[in-house]
Amino acid sequence: MIDLGSLISRLGALEPQYQESEPFPHIHLENFLDESVAQGLEAAFPARASESWTQWKHFNENKCGLTKRDHIPEKLGQLIDEFNSPDFTTWLSRLTGIPNLIADPSLEGGGLHQSGRGGFLNIHADFTVHHHQPTWRRRVNVILYLNDGWQADWGGAIELWDKQMTRCEVKVIPRLNNVLIFNTEEDSYHGFPDPMQCPEGVSRKSVALYYYTAEAKPNARATTYKARPADASGKAAMIWADNQALTAYSKIKAKLGLSDDFATRVLGLFSRK
């Protein structure tokens, strides 16, 4: 599905564009796949009603995710396999300038993501170490959007914020066949924090892949959410409090090897509280 030859031929132009971008290294590529392939992938995307989805619903986010490889439709699974292939991972290392990237076939936190009307994801920096691979430091995100006809006024654009959390510097509308690739450092702040206004029955769909490097003792930190300068003090306090609960949960998850099914139940409890 991925035209790797074309991507390799463009590396000379893409490498400096990626590595010199602000507020942190990233690149936004349109028409990443053949258009008919992208449309087929969107058509194959499973409905949110399926019990296979993990429901990430708490103060800092309202979305769902699907990481179970055997529950992912064949076309989407084939794409994920190509993203995780040695050839694509080698290309990604060259693009980012990060040698020896490691793909994650377990799709921890990645896989398929979907959000409906009212969905959001507060600004955050991602967890730094794989929950079940303690020597894997998280380095790069690859996100493919599959939303034909998405309108800008529906919201859902991913925002990239500066390291001091003073302003949004980049917005990418999640339109069909657009890819966003970016470094995931401890201050790579991103998200789509305003509840979406897409019509009922429409959802924001994406495929997310995360890549790592092996280190002896990487600094482990949970996903860290941040308030925006314009957020009211009460909202900022709730973002902080929810973040503390999630940090505790993340530590327990890594120590006990808990599954995403358990996360659905725990986060449902948080949501009701």
Tens-digit pLDDT profile for residues 229-251: 999 999 999 999 988 888 877 77
Is residue 127 within 8 A of residue 251, CB to CB? The reply is no
**DSSP secondary structure letter of residue 71:** G
Is residue 206 within 8 A of residue 146, CB to CB? The reply is yes
Q: Which of 104, 59, 30 is nearest to 195 (CA)?
A: 59
- Compute the average pLDDT of residues 61-72: 93
Q: State the amino acid at position 187 in one-letter form.
A: D
Instruction: Select the more confidently predicted residue: 196 or 54.
Output: 196
Asked whether residue 265 carries a pLDDT value surpassing 90, the answer given is no
Is residue 96 within 8 A of residue 182, CB to CB? The reply is no
Q: Quick one: pLDDT band at residue 48, thresholds 50, 70, 90?
A: confident
Average of per-residue pLDDT values in the chain: 93
Asked whether residue 206 carries a pLDDT value surpassing 60, the answer given is yes
**Chain segment 152-165, per-residue pLDDT in tens:** 999 999 999 999 99
SS3 state at 102: strand
Q: Which of 195, 179, 102 is nearest to 144 (CA)?
A: 179
**Chain segment 121-145, per-residue pLDDT in tens:** 999 999 999 989 999 999 999 999 9
What's the confidence (pLDDT) of residue 236? 95
Domain carrying residue 8: 4-272
> Which residues have a Cβ under 8 Å from the Cβ of 209 and sit 6 or more positions away?
80, 83, 84, 103, 104, 107, 110, 141, 142, 143
CA-CA distance, 137 to 46, in Å (whole number)? 30
> Domain containing 19 — which CATH number?
2.60.120.620
What's the confidence (pLDDT) of residue 248? 79
What tokens does 185 get?
């450092």
What are the DSSP E strand ranges found in 162-258?
Answer: 168-172, 178-183, 190-192, 204-214, 224-225
Q: Which of 10, 30, 20 is nearest to 183 (CA)?
A: 20
Q: What total number of domains does the chain contain?
A: 1
Backbone φ, ψ for residue 219 (5° rounding): -75, 110
CA-CA distance, 72 to 69, in Å (whole number)? 5
> Which residues have a Cβ under 8 Å from the Cβ of 197 and sit 6 or more positions away?
117, 153, 154, 155
Is residue 270 within 8 A of residue 245, CB to CB? The reply is yes
> Which residues have a Cβ under 8 Å from the Cβ of 167 and sit 6 or more positions away?
161, 229
pTM over 0.75: yes
What's the confidence (pLDDT) of residue 219? 93
Instruction: Select the more confidently predicted residue: 43 or 269.
Output: 43
Q: Which of 49, 78, 67 is nearest to 109 (CA)?
A: 67
